[in-house]
């Protein structure tokens, strides 16, 4: 994470790659892209997507934080926080 | 002003698209008469029931009927109260003692439904700073229970002990307790948990406990019907067993059993136990009697598995995609929800009731015609079910008529 609280470009790139096949609405993927409104993710797709992100970063994303993750940027920040906590 | 159900408009649109066309509504089936454990009158037609989770067929056990009638006459139609107020009768305590003996555990707590047992136990067993690691395919009641807990919730891949191990390893430095949550048999496809592997993973990690929901495996697996832990031989390693009376036990109600010290404390903190009325005496009496029949029901279990084989192989042989392993749940996969509804309607019109199960309630996004067997299904009934499945599937263009060895002419 950079000093101003912005997720790194690498994290965005990885998430964009994972989101690609799930982007059925064809919107431009930006940090502020919303999973529910812009990508039309339902609960099932969210769960599948979370599992692929967990595999990619080798982390567990607790279900408890999912309601607060509505955009790609939220997810990137959460992923970086968990990676940092896990690897010290 | 927006309507209060506007947020469901997408769902309503999906429902209307899926249910388009003529035929019965699969979610509003009405049984006007129940002829037996395996037959009912639906829309005026005598129908074979092949989706009731009534695995051992105990809903009309004469001993349980008599006990229920006697309790009804002696104690009335309901307790009108919570277990912690005026809703605990001698029958409730006798039922809990019977459960302790049945499972060889020190403590048993009876809830009003299986859903409430999971919701109550999972919301209170783990607290702040603890972790719950649940199989991703767990039942809705488990999801609702863990969501209401203050623990951190982590899902692991369905039936993947290595994935569970990996996730527990990430928590090695965290001091809290860890609770693994699985089911003995998963309801939609009838697949079993890899319990021996999961127990081995549990033992590798400190402060780690195992809870198994034996809703669909109780009465079905194990010599005495104690479910998957009995079959696998690891009952002492399963710290908490949740179950229901609404499947093999043939009535309604839920429970949790454990030998963990001070387990009875849950009676003072489980809101799903405290803030709801207790089971009516007649239900309690029939559950108590039927537990004995489940325990001594080895012959029923043999018949159940024989029936499962007949249906499983019958439906596979006609060319249908059967997603389940050999178990009392036989799930036929339809290509999409619309075809599944048409399939279901064809079956009900021809006199066969099965469960229609659609995503997101199903794994892998499957659209399922979910059958469950009963020990008292006759082979003739099951042959008829297979033949009706075949006719409907041919009409829908899903399979081609096969020339079978047994066919005449």
Give all strands of the β-sheet with B31-36 in edge-to-edge order: B31-36, B39-42, B45-49, B352-353
**Termini Cα distance of chain B:** 68
Hey, is the C-beta of B42 within 8 angstroms of any chain A C-beta? no
B153, A62: Cβ pair inside 8 Å?
yes
B227-240 confidence digits (pLDDT tens): 999 999 999 999 99
Q: In B170-280, which residue ranges form alpha helices assigned H by DSSP?
A: 195-204, 228-232, 271-274
Hey, is the C-beta of B144 within 8 angstroms of any chain A C-beta? no
pLDDT of residue A26: 87
pLDDT of residue B396: 96
Joined together, the tokens standing for residue B71 give 């309790």
Whether the Cβ atoms of residue B352 and residue B49 lie closer than 8 Å to each other: no
- A-B CB pairs within 8 A amount to 26
Q: In B192-280, which residue ranges form alpha helices assigned H by DSSP?
A: 195-204, 228-232, 271-274
Residues of B in contact with A43 (CB under 8 A): 360
pLDDT of residue B166: 95
Closest-CA residue of B relative to A85 is: B170
B15-56+298-395: what CATH class?
Answer: alpha beta
Cα B243 from chain centre: 9
Residues of A in contact with B122 (CB under 8 A): none
pLDDT of residue B358: 93
For residue B214, whether the previous peptide bond is cis, meaning omega lies within 30 degrees of 0, is no
CA–CA distance, B145 with B372 (Å, rounded to integer):
26
pLDDT of residue B409: 38
**C-alpha distance from A30 to closest chain B C-alpha (Å):** 25
CATH fold for domain B61-295: 3.40.640
| Domain residue limits, chain B | 15-56+298-395, 61-295
pLDDT of residue B403: 58
Band of residue A43 on the pLDDT scale cut at 50, 70, 90: confident
Joined together, the tokens standing for residue B190 give 């009838």
Q: Give residue for tokens 């109780």.
A: B218
Hey, is the C-beta of B365 within 8 angstroms of any chain A C-beta? yes
Q: In B214-297, which residue ranges form alpha helices assigned H by DSSP?
A: 228-232, 271-274, 281-295
Average pLDDT for residues A20-37, to the nearest whole number? 90
Q: Give residue for tokens 């390693």.
A: B237
Domains and CATH numbers, chain A: 9-87 (1.10.1200.10)
pLDDT of residue B405: 53
**pLDDT < 70 stretches in chain B:** 403-409
Residue B398 burial by Cβ neighbours in a 10 Å radius (0-12, 13-18, 19+): buried
- Substitution target in A25, A42, A49, A64 with the highest count of B β-carbons within 10 Å is A64
CA–CA distance, B392 with B346 (Å, rounded to integer):
6
Domains B15-56+298-395 and B61-295 share a fold: no
B15-53 confidence digits (pLDDT tens): 899 899 888 999 999 999 999 999 999 999 999 999 999
Residue B82 burial by Cβ neighbours in a 10 Å radius (0-12, 13-18, 19+): middle
**C-alpha distance from A14 to closest chain B C-alpha (Å):** 21
A43, B360: Cβ pair inside 8 Å?
yes
Q: Tell whether the torsion through CA atoms of B354, B358, B362 and B368 is positive or negative.
A: positive
Joined together, the tokens standing for residue B360 give 């997101």
């Amino acid at each position: 994470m950079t000093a101003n609280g912005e997720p790194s470009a690498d994290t965005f790139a990885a998430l964009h790659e994972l989101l690609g096949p799930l982007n059925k609405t064809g919107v431009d993927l930006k940090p502020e892209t919303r999973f529910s409104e812009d990508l039309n993710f339902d609960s099932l797709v969210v769960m599948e997507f979370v599992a692929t992100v967990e595999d990619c970063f080798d982390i567990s994303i607790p279900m408890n934080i999912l309601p607060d993750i509505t955009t790609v940027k939220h997810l990137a920040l959460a992923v970086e926080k968990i990676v940092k906590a896990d690897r010290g | 002003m927006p309507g209060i159900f506007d947020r469901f408009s997408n769902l309503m649109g999906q429902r209307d698209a899926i249910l388009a066309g003529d035929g019965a509504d699969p979610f509003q089936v009405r049984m006007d008469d129940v002829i037996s454990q395996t037959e009912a009158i639906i829309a005026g037609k005598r129908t074979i029931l092949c989706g009731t989770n009534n695995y051992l067929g105990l809903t009309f056990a004469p001993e349980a009927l008599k006990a229920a009638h006697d309790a009804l006459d002696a104690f009335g139609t309901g307790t009108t109260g919570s277990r912690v107020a005026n809703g605990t009768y001698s029958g409730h305590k006798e039922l809990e003692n019977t459960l302790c003996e049945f499972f060889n555990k020190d403590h048993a707590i009876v809830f009003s439904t299986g859903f409430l047992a999971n919701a109550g136990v999972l919301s209170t067993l783990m607290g702040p700073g603890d972790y719950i690691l649940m199989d991703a395919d767990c039942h809705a009641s488990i999801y609702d229970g863990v969501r209401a807990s203050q623990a951190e919730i982590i899902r692991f891949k369905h039936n993947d002990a290595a994935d569970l191990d990996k996730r527990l390893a990430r928590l090695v430095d965290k001091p809290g307790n860890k609770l693994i949550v699985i089911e003995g048999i998963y309801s939609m496809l009838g697949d079993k948990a890899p319990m021996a592997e999961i127990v081995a993973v549990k033992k590798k990690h400190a402060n780690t406990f195992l809870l198994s929901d034996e809703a669909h495996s109780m009465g079905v697996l194990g010599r005495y019907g104690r479910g998957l832990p009995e079959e696998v031989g690891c009952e002492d390693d399963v710290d908490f067993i949740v179950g229901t009376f609404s499947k093999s036990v043939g009535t309604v109600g839920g429970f949790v059993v454990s030998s963990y010290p001070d387990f009875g404390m849950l009676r003072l903190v489980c809101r799903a136990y405290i803030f709801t009325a207790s089971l009516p005496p007649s239900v309690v009496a029939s559950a108590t009697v039927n537990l004995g029949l489940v325990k001594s029901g080895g012959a029923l279990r043999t018949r159940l598995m024989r029936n499962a084989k007949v249906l499983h192989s019958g439906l596979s042989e006609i060319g249908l995609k059967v997603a389940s392993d050999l178990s009392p749940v036989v799930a036929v996969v339809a290509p999409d929800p619309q075809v599944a509804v048409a399939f279901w309607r064809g079956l009900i019109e021809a006199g066969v009731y099965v469960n229609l199960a659609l995503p997101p309630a199903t794994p892998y996004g499957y659209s399922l015609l979910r059958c469950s067997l009963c020990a008292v299904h006759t082979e003739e009934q099951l042959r008829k079910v297979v033949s009706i499945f075949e006719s409907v599937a041919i009409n829908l263009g899903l399979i081609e008529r096969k020339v079978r060895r047994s066919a005449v002419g």
